[in-house]
Amino acid sequence: MTQSTFTPRVFSGIQPSGGLHLGNYLGAIKRFVTMQDEVAQSIYCMVDLHAITVWQDPKDLQHNTRELAAGFIASGISPEKSILINQSQVPEHAQLGWIFNCVARMGWMQRMTQFKDKAGKNAQNVSLGLFGYPALMAADILVYHATHVPVGDDQKQHLELTRDIATKFNHDYGVDFFPITEPVIEGAATRVMSLRDGDKKMSKSDPSDASRINMTDDADTIAKKIRKAKTDADALPSEAKGLEGRPEARNLVNIYAALADISVDQVLADVGGKNFGAFKPMLSDLAVAKLSPISGEMARLMSDPAEIDRILAKGAQQAREITVPILQKTYDIVGMVRPAV
């Protein structure tokens, strides 16, 4: 990790909009687990306020927030080592988000590809919140003065915007108050692709369930989805450059490397020359071995939702020890009157 004058602090978030999949796990959560041991403080967040930028059934939102928390913990995020929160219990996120709505420029927001993808042809009919989403995301990060943000590749542009917002705020008010955050987009699986189409990202919004491996899939379902995954007819190459122009093959090899914690070259040194008929069972055995303990633990944690709620309440308390002073200082910088202390 690169150094800045700010104390290293990690923040990341995932939307509790249901359906954690292998892309979320390899691109994000697995990295969160390693990073919690690399810095003194890490904060991981269920971004429920972001989720409602598109319609969420209230009951489902509650369920999905708890299930995501269970997914984090089952994957190895320890509430003793990291602060685990849902965004709405830490009101300073939304409060700083408003300030950032007044810092970010319309032109910057109009360039956001995620907004354009999600709004599609429907841009007049989506919520204002969906458009403002990246300013709230900047606030999530900067209300902790977080320096490092592990995410999948699709969040890169939002993190650049976060840097632009911090830079403009610091410049406009003549301060060096917000850090210029480093995105951490690393590993073999920063962009896990659909099992049905190697040019499309694995996503919870893909109508085909066969396109993704859900964290809650059982062993048979995982094996079946991998068996049916699209591939080409050639054998696997022995070196990474042999994966060029073979998006499906590359994706399966990347997934294997990320699950096994080895490099793509190491995978190919072992499996080069094998055909998919031999490689796919190896991949499903590995996926089942890594994922089924996590889904088992998620189910166990979900049988005691009150315990999850206690963990999130405690996390919110710890979080506010950081966010309240940073928001107060921001208000002072901006010129908001508050009682003298």
Show the binding pattern over residues 16-55: x = contacts ligand AMP (CB under 6 A), - = does not.
Answer: -------xx--xx---------------------------
Give the DSSP H or E segment for 150. strand 148-150
Of 33, 74, 151, 259, the residue at the interface with ligand TRP (CB under 6 A) is 151
- Work out what residue 141 binds among ligand AMP, ligand TRP, none; the CB cut-off runs from 5 to 8 Å by kind: ligand TRP
Rounded Cα gap, residues 160 and 184, in angstroms: 12
Q: Minimum distance from CB of 11 to ligand AMP (Å)?
A: 11
Instruction: Note whether 96 and 143 are within 8 A (CB).
Output: yes
Question: What tokens does 176 get?
Answer: 């060096």
Active-site residue, 314 included? no
- Work out what residue 137 binds among ligand AMP, ligand TRP, none; the CB cut-off runs from 5 to 8 Å by kind: ligand TRP
Residue 77 near ligand AMP by CB under 6 A: no
Give the DSSP H or E segment for 265. helix 264-271
Of 29, 141, 142, 243, the residue at the interface with ligand TRP (CB under 6 A) is 141
Name the 3-class secondary structure at 193: strand
Q: Minimum distance from CB of 15 to ligand AMP (Å)?
A: 4
Radius of gyration (C-alpha) of the chain in whole angstroms: 21
Active-site residue, 225 included? no
Interface residues for ligand AMP in 200-219 (CB under 6 A)? 201-203
Rounded Cα gap, residues 55 and 253, in angstroms: 36
Of 67, 140, 206, 248, the residue at the interface with ligand TRP (CB under 6 A) is 140
Contacts of 113 (CB under 8 A, 6+ apart): 157
Instruction: Note whether 255 and 26 are within 8 A (CB).
Output: yes
Residue 29 near ligand TRP by CB under 6 A: no
From 81, 118, 156, 314, active-site residue? 118
